[in-house]
Structure 1
Amino acid sequence: MKLAIVNDVLLITEALRRVVANTQEHEVIWTASSGEQAVQFCAENRPDLILMDLIMPGMDGVEATRQIMQQTPCAILIVTASPEDNTSMVFRALGAGALDVAATPVLSGSAASDATLLAKIKTVGRLIAADLPANGAAAKVSPSYSAAPTQQEIDTLVAIGASTGGPIALAKILRTWKPPANAAAVIVQHIDQAFSSSFASWLASQIDFPVDVIEDGGQLQPGRILLAKTNDHVILDDNQRLRYRATPVNYPYRPSIDVFFHCVAQHWKKKAVGILLTGMGRDGAAGLLAMRMAGKLTIAQDQKTSAVYGMPRAAAETGAAEVILPLEKIGTILNTKVKKTA
C-alpha cells in the first residue's frame, strides 16, 4: 500500500517510516508536519492509508481527518502517543472518519509495538480490498446457533452496526432516542477492544444515558444500551445470553456486524430493527438482508450524512435496507416504531 505519515515531531515521523520500511508491501509516498499540510498533500497525491497524529499545533488530527474525508477521502489510522489519555479526541477522530487508533511505536524500537502497528495496517489493507466493488457482495456469515427463547419483558430488539464515522453517528441517534422499558439495544461498532470500555463511557457522556459493555454470558437488558467490547464476534446463545465467539477467524471485520445481524434474523422471534450506519467495507449488509427477509425493519444511513458510504451503500445495492434515511431521521423513526407498551 501507499502510505503517508502526518506528525509534527521529526523523530516520530522517522520512527514510523522505519517501521514501514521494514516491510516489502508498503511504501511511504509523503510525510507532513501539520494537519494543513496533510490536507494539501492528500489532495495532490492521495495515498491508500494515512498514519495521522492527533495533537499537532494549528490544525489537529481530528480536523485534518474531517477535512480529508470531506475533500479527498482515504483510509486514516490514528497513530498517537498515549491514546488512552486522549480518548475524547480519539473518538472525535473516529467519528470524523478515522478507521482505528494505535499507539506510536517507541523510538528505541519495540518489536511488540511495531508488530501491533503493522497488524493494524494489514487489517486496514484487508478492509480496503473488501471495499472494492469488484469483490461483490460479502460472503454470507450464518452462525448455526440453536433457536433461543425470548425474554418476556423485551418485545423489541434494536441492533445497530457502525464502523468508520460511527461514534459521532451513534451519539446523534441516541441523543434523540432511548430504548423504552420494553426494548433493548445492542451496538456493534468496529473498534479495538483496548478502547471499547472507554468508548462506552465516552458515548454515555455524549447522550447522558448509561451505555454498558457486553460481558460474556450477559443478558439483554430492557431499557438499556449494550455495546460489544471485544475483537471477537458477539452472538445470542440458546439461553438468550450474549456471548463472544472467535469464528469466523479470518473475517476482516471484528467484531462483525454481519454475525450479530444474522443471529437476530435467525433467533429473535419478536420485533426487531436493524440499523446499518457509516463505515468502510460491506460488513452488515448481508446480515441486514437476512433481517429484512425475516420480516424485521431494516434501515441504512444515506450517502450524504455518511462519513464513509461503504457499508450502507452495500446494503442499498443488495436491497437489504427497507428504508434509507439521513442520520437525523433515524432517531425519529425509532421513536415512531419502537414504543413503550402497556
Structure 2
Amino acid sequence: MAVKVLVVDDSGFFRRRVSEILSADPQIQVVGTATNGREAIDQALALKPDVITMDYEMPLMDGITAVRNIMQRCPTPVLMFSSLTHEGARVTLDALDAGAVDYLPKNFEDISRNPEKVRQLLCEKVHTIARSNRRYASFLSAPAPASAPPSPAAAAAPRHAPAAPQAAAPQASTPKRKPYRLVAIGTSTGGPVALQRVLTQLPANFPAPLVLIQHMPAAFTKAFAERLDKLCRISVKEAEDGDLLRPGLALLAPGGKQMMVDGRGVVRILPGDERLNYKPCVDVTFGSAAKAYGDKVLAVVLTGMGADGREGARMLKQSGSQVWAQDEASCVIYGMPMAIAKAGLADAVYSLDDIGRHLGEACA
C-alpha cells in the first residue's frame, strides 16, 4: 500500500519539485499540498496522510506552530525541511521538540545538481518515518522533554513502570553499580529528543564522563550541544580535538567528523572518512572506547534507523563492557537498538524514560 504524503511549502517551485520526486516512487502517493501552516492543519485533518513534509518559514502560520497543532489534533509523522545554518539548526530542534520526527536540508542547489541523490534520500526518509507511525502516538503521549532541569528528587524517581521483557535481550530492573570510566551514547532518528529526555535526568555530580554520537549535519551539532547544556544539570559541549574527558561533562561528536577517545582521557576529532556512511559514526567512537577502557565502558544505543553501533557494541562486549538498548515501544525508529538486540549484544533493554534513572544507579 502506497505511503500517503502531504507536501507543505509556501514556495511553488519547491512544492512542485518535492511532489514530483515523491510521485516518481510507485510506493508513494502525494495526496495533497498546502502553502501555509493553517492549510496544513486542515489538509492533515481531511486527508489523514501517513507523512507530512513541512517547511518552517510560511505566511499565516509557521511550520513549528503547525506541527504542534497537528500533533495535538491528528498525530502524524512530520519531515521538516531546514536550512544548514545555526538559525536553521535552532528552528529544526524546536520543530523536533514540537513533534517532528526527522529533517532534511532544504537546498535548491542540490536538487538541481544531484537530483538522483536527493530523490533517493527524500524517498528513503519518507518510507522510514512512515514505518514509525505505529509507535508514533505512544511516543508523543510520553512526557514532553523538560523545559528546565528537573529537581533531584524528580530525577531519582521512576516515571514509568519497567517495560516488559523482550525475548531478544535480558531485562534488568536495577543495574549493578560500577566505576565506569566512560558512558557512550549513540543515536540517530529521534535522537535529539531522546537524548534530551535522558540527559535532563542526570545530576550535576554525575560521576562518569559521557560522549554522545548523534547523526547530525556539521551546522547543527554546536546548536544542539548549546541547547542541551542549557537544559541539563550536567555540562554539554560540542567536542573539540584535545578535549579532556571529565565527570559530569558530555561531549557531543561534531557533525561531519569522527570522534575517538584514548586511554589518557583525551578526545580526538578526525576528518569524516568518505568511506563511512555516517559522520559521526557510532561504531568508530564505541570501537575506540573499547580499546581505551576495556570493561569500564557503559554504552547505550537509542532510537535510530540503520545498524550503526552494532559492530562497536560487539567490540565493547568482547572487552567486557556493558551495552544497553532502548526498547521498541519508546523508539521513534526501532533500527539501531533492534540491531543490538538481535545480535545478542544488549545486557539490558530499557524504555526511554527509564534510561536516565538507570544511568544514575549504574555509575558508582
Fold conserved between structures, TM > 0.5: yes
Asked if 2 retains the 8 angstrom alpha-carbon contact of 1:38 and 1:64, the reply is no
Structure 1 residue 301 corresponds to structure 2 residue 302: no
For 2:277 and 2:47, locate their aligned partners in 1 and report how far apart those are by CA, in whole Å. 26
- Taking a change above 3 Å as real, the CA distance of residues 236 and 43 of structure 1, as seen in their structure-2 partners, is same
2:80 alignment partner in structure 1: 78
Point out where structure 1 has 5 or more consecutive residues left out of the alignment.
106-110, 132-153
Match of 2:102 in 1: 99
**Would you say the 8 A contact 2:82–2:89 is kept in 1?**
no
Aligned to 2:8: 7
After alignment, is 90-99 or 19-28 more displaced?
19-28
Q: Aligned to 2:241, which of 216, 226, 231?
A: 216
Q: Is the 8 A contact 1:219 1:241 kept in 2?
A: yes
The one-character-per-residue Cα deviations of 1:36-70 (angstroms, maximum 9, x if unpaired) are 356458855x57xx5421355568457649859x9
Q: Could you say what secondary structure the match of 1:171 adopts?
A: helix
Shift of 1:271: 1.4
Distance, in Å, in 2 between the alignment partners of 1:196 and 1:117 is 26
Which residue of 1 is the match for residue 337 of structure 2?
312
2:297 aligned residue: 272
CA deviation profile, 1:211-260 (whole Å, cap 9, x unmatched): 11111233323331111113122122576532233465233222111111
Q: Structure 1 residues 201-210 or 254-263, which shifts more?
A: 201-210
Q: 1:36 aligns with which of 14, 38, 41?
A: 41
For residues 241-288 of structure 1, the C-alpha deviation after alignment (integer angstroms, 9 at most, x for no partner) is 322334652332221111111221222235111001111121112222
Residues 81, 265 of structure 1: CA spacing in aligned structure 2 closer, same or farther, 3 A cutoff?
closer
Identical residues among aligned pairs (%):
26
Change (3 A) 1:94 1:267: same
Residues 209-288 of structure 1 mapped to structure 2, 5 A cutoff:
209-237=234-262, 240-246=265-271, 248-269=273-294, 271-288=296-313
The answer to which of 12-21 and 115-124 deviates more is 115-124
User: How far apart, CA to CA, are the structure 2 residues paired with 1:318 and 1:223?
Assistant: 31
Letter of the 2:103 partner, please give it.
D
Unaligned runs of 5+ in 2: 130-178
Give secondary structure in 2 for the equivalent of 1:188: strand
Aligned length in residues = 305
Secondary structure of 1:282's aligned partner: coil
SS in 1 for 2:345: coil
Give the 3 Å change call, closer, same or farther, for CA 19–89 of structure 1 in structure 2.
closer
Partner residue in 2 for 1:137: none
Contact kept? 2:23, 2:29, Cα under 8 Å: no
Query: Is the contact made by 2:189 and 2:305 (CA closer than 8 Å) also made in structure 1?
Result: yes
C-alpha distance in structure 2 between counterparts of 1:252 and 1:3, whole Å: 28
2:15–2:33 CA contact under 8 A, matched in 1:
no
Counting only pairs closer than 5 Å after superposition, residues 175-214 of structure 1 correspond to structure 2 as 175-178=200-203, 180=205, 182-214=207-239
Alpha-carbon distance in 2 for matches of 1:317, 1:81: 36
RMSD (Å) for aligned C-alpha atoms: 3.9
TM-score (norm 2): 0.68
Contact 2:295 2:316 in 1 (8 A): no
CA distance in 2, matches of 1:209, 1:190: 21
User: Residue deviations 1:148-181, cap 9 Å, x none?
Assistant: xxxxxx9520000111111111111111114746
Measured at CA, do residues 289 and 175 of structure 1 come closer, stay the same or move farther in structure 2, by a change above 3 Å? same
Letter in 2 for 1:36: I
Quote the Cα distance in structure 2 between the aligned partners of 1:235 and 1:335: 24
